[in-house]
Amino acid sequence: MQIPLLRRRRPFPVLTFAALLLASPVLMPTASAQSAVAAVNPLLSASPLPLAYPPFDKIKDEHYAPAYEQGMAENLTEVATIATNSAPTSFDNTIVALERSGLLLARVARIFTNINGCNTNPTLQAVEKAMAPKLAAHRDAILLNPQLFARVRSLYDARATLGLDAESARLLAETYKSFVRAGAQLSEADKTKLRALNAGIATAETAFSQNVLKERTASAVYITGRAELAGFSDPEMTAAAAEAKTNGHEGQFAIALVNTTGQPPLTTLTNRATRERIMQASLARGLRGGEFDNRASVATLARRRAERALLLGYPTHADYVLAEQTAKNVTAATALLAKLAPPAVANARQEAADIQKIIDVEFAGKPGRFEIAAWDWDFYLEKVRVARYNFDESQVKPYFELNHVLVDGAFFAATKLFGITFKERHDLPVYRPEVRVFEVLDTNGATLALFLFDAYARPSKNGGAWMNEYESQSTLLGTQPVVGNHLNIPQPPAGEPTLLTFDEVTTLFHEFGHALHGMFSAVKYPRFAGTNVPSDFVEFPSQVNEMWAVWPEVLKNYAKHYKTGAPLPAELLTKVLNARKFNQGYVTAEYLAAALLDLTWHGLKPSEVPAADGVLTFEAAALAKVGLDFAPVPPRYRSTYFSHVFSGGYSAGYYSYIWSEVLDATTVEWFKKNGGLTRANGDRFRATLLSRGGSAEALGLFRDFTGGEPDIIPLLVRRGLNAPASATP
């Protein structure tokens, strides 16, 4: 069965086990009613477009709720048929039948989740809010069905005698495990408790997510005078004025907030008071009281998740989550973070000292000297970068025009490495005019996948960047991938080029790595398709793909001045590459602070979870305990807007980015030692890892490709954490 979820952060895979894991029982419409609805609701039938690409031009907001209801009803009917089948229980009539079930519900959930994440509106948010508890109850109705579980268990107990191939044997084991971890072995009284907890968690996650999005829009900082925005370019001024006008503040300038604590304008704004206003507005999200306050949601989610974990036999929610990850246990995950925290903080303090020297020189003999604060870091970081490396971001942005980065960078690297090619399609409908669609052709010229590219930020879009799937690959179902990448690049005024920072270039390559993972899937069962792998493994292939952004052959092909076509000068490239380790103390410390907050919240027992008014005190104590309470470097996300873990599927899993980077850094070294950007290396990576999805044990796939074990040293060297940061010369 496929397991579409309402929401999952980066990437946005179609979790499978068919539509099983979704909403509550509903009445099945009559046949005549179904026919009437189907005639006007395109979600109720498979799309006639290539690869079942969604008919965005025909789908309307009002189609989702009835399609969800019908999908849930059909799913329950299918499952009841499987559970009550009078024929002897077999792998085909139970496990494979589950994989084939829930296809309507899966389709509806994929499309709704993706559109709600990238182009939401009040109607869709109302659907999300209404469906969340229903979908949780529906999931329970299937996974807590004793008759169905008895069939699954009987097969699992007899697994050694079934003669299954490796992927089928893994499917049986994972299906059984899913039922057990969902509470199938609980008493009826405990199942009732579990159902209530699941519904409450789903409701609280939805409330948290919607509060974050709504407050991010409502928290835009409005500036009345141009002088307060000194440092902005003319296009940035124009965009800020247009944003303010759109929001009903004509004549002012709006600084829209992004999801992270740090905000892009802090890099260039020279007015310190303006920088402070922006940072304070960012840090205060979810804390102001009123309708968007998320403290109660944080406390509720931490407590209910802890209660559920105890009910299911785990000490904490973190223990429950980590049991399914490659880390296997909380001790291993926290040990890695603990190993990285001291050098990261030491480097961050040295970086702060370097910045303070710049400030002291600037204010020597003048009034107004200050100690570095969080809102000063990015601005003075650029000054240190200039002093140390003699360049700043504004010098390189003209060489990173969006289309060149995508087509001549990410696509070019994929063609060199894997032999695939890309053809833009203008005949397929899109949900926004700026979305682009590409057909991906395999080495034999056959269609491999369809790829949607949605680059620009907008108020209706979740923050951050992610990959999702509108259709996943499965030889059982005869389906091929339709995948999308979503970024949050500020859209320039009409007629202006979209110029990227180097971080945005890296993010584009990263997300395209997720897309490749989905495109290359070659598994039988939808449960294992593409990025359906452990959370602390899913980032690994995408992080590997970042290496090609600076690979000389690739960089030479895309890093060209948007006006003149001149290549990025060699000396400027050298400065970019030399500066990559700079500021890694800050970058690592802000990430580790968020990751340790996540594990600390989810390592609590129910009685240890603070009330809503204790959330900030708890957060401060958690950071102090691990030495990450360094005010100039706040966590990348504070608890009240930490969407990854409180509404996005990464609870007790945010550590996975750095865990995966250990695998990534080791793999990059393998590529470098074996010839780099070659078809032989790409074919090996595709065959042994990218195509396998979740059909085999994750670390086993890593070993199959690299021939060895993960090594932390390449990561420490990459981040410059194997030695303290040097002082400014």
Question: Looking at the annotation, which residues are catalytic?
Answer: 511
Q: What share of the chain is helix, strand, coil (3-state, %, to 5)?
A: 60, 5, 35
Both tokens assigned to 414:
């994929």
Find the radius of gyration of the CA atoms of the chain.
25
3-state secondary structure 545-593: HHHHHHCHHHHHHHCECCCCCCECCHHHHHHHHHHHHCCHHHHHHHHHH
Counting Cα atoms < 13 Å in the Cβ hemisphere of 201 gives 27
Sole residue written with tokens 């957060």:
619
Is the distance from CB of 496 to CB of 397 less than 8 angstroms? no
Beta bridge partners of 422: 440
Is the distance from CB of 644 to CB of 538 less than 8 angstroms? no
Beta bridge partners of 447: 441
Both tokens assigned to 267:
């890099």
For residue 465, give the nearest of 215, 260, 683 by alpha carbon. Answer: 260
Both tokens assigned to 456:
């620009």
Beta bridge partners of 425: 437
Is the distance from CB of 581 to CB of 720 less than 8 angstroms? yes
Residues sharing a CB contact under 8 Å with residue 369, sequence separation 6 or more, in sequence order:
359, 360, 363
Sole residue written with tokens 């069965």:
1
Question: Cα–Cα distance between 376 and 396 in angstroms, integer?
Answer: 22
Question: Cα–Cα distance between 488 and 259 in angstroms, integer?
Answer: 10
Compute, in degrees rounded to 10, the torsion defined by CA atoms 468, 469, 473, 478: 180
Residues sharing a CB contact under 8 Å with residue 64, sequence separation 6 or more, in sequence order:
43, 108, 112, 124, 127
Both tokens assigned to 505:
């270039």
Whole-Å CA distances, 678 to 410, 448, 515, 541:
15, 20, 20, 17
Residues sharing a CB contact under 8 Å with residue 286, sequence separation 6 or more, in sequence order:
211, 212, 215, 292, 293, 294, 295, 298, 638, 639, 640, 641
For residue 405, give the nearest of 534, 509, 496 by alpha carbon. Answer: 509
User: Of how many residues is the chain composed?
Assistant: 729
Question: Cα–Cα distance between 709 and 703 in angstroms, integer?
Answer: 6
